[in-house]
């Protein structure tokens, strides 16, 4: 588990524009990814978007967020979904 509030980009290699806004701290929101050390989780923003909220609505409801934070949350989700699937020889899952 991470002990400091380090930007995720520093932990996962080269940054896509905006991922420096994603932070993970063991003592904040259960170690879940947040935006700019705020107690606003990436998942919360993604859930709002999935429910149909517009960027403008999210920014109005969460005045501490910036437009780049929403883009960073989407980039983070895209990065998490794009990982190789490794198969173990001799195992059928």
CATH number assigned to the domain comprising residue 23: 1.10.10.10
The answer to whether residue 32 is domain-embedded is yes
The answer to whether residue 85 is domain-embedded is no
The answer to whether residue 24 is domain-embedded is yes
Domain containing residue 24? 6-80
The structure's pTM equals 0.72
Q: Which residue's structure tokens are 């998490």?
A: 80
What pLDDT is attached to residue 3? 42
Coil vs helix vs strand at 7:
strand
DSSP H or E segment with residue 24: strand 22-24
CA 68 – CA 18 distance, rounded (Å): 7
Across the chain, what does the average pLDDT equal? 84
The answer to whether residue 89 is domain-embedded is no
In the chain, the percentage of residues whose pLDDT exceeds 90 is: 63
What pLDDT is attached to residue 15? 45
Contacts of 93 (CB under 8 A, 6+ apart): none
Number of structural domains (the chain) is: 1
Coil vs helix vs strand at 30:
helix
CA 65 – CA 70 distance, rounded (Å): 8
């Amino acid at each position: 588990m991470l002990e400091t509030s380090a930007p995720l980009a520093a932990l996962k290699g080269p940054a896509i524009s905006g991922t420096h806004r994603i932070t993970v701290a063991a003592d904040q929101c259960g170690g879940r990814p947040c935006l700019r050390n705020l107690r606003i989780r990436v998942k919360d923003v993604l859930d709002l978007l999935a429910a149909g909220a517009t960027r403008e609505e999210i920014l109005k409801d969460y005045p501490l967020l910036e437009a780049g934070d929403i883009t960073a949350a989407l980039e983070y989700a895209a990065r998490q979904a794009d990982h190789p699937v490794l198969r173990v020889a001799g195992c059928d899952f």
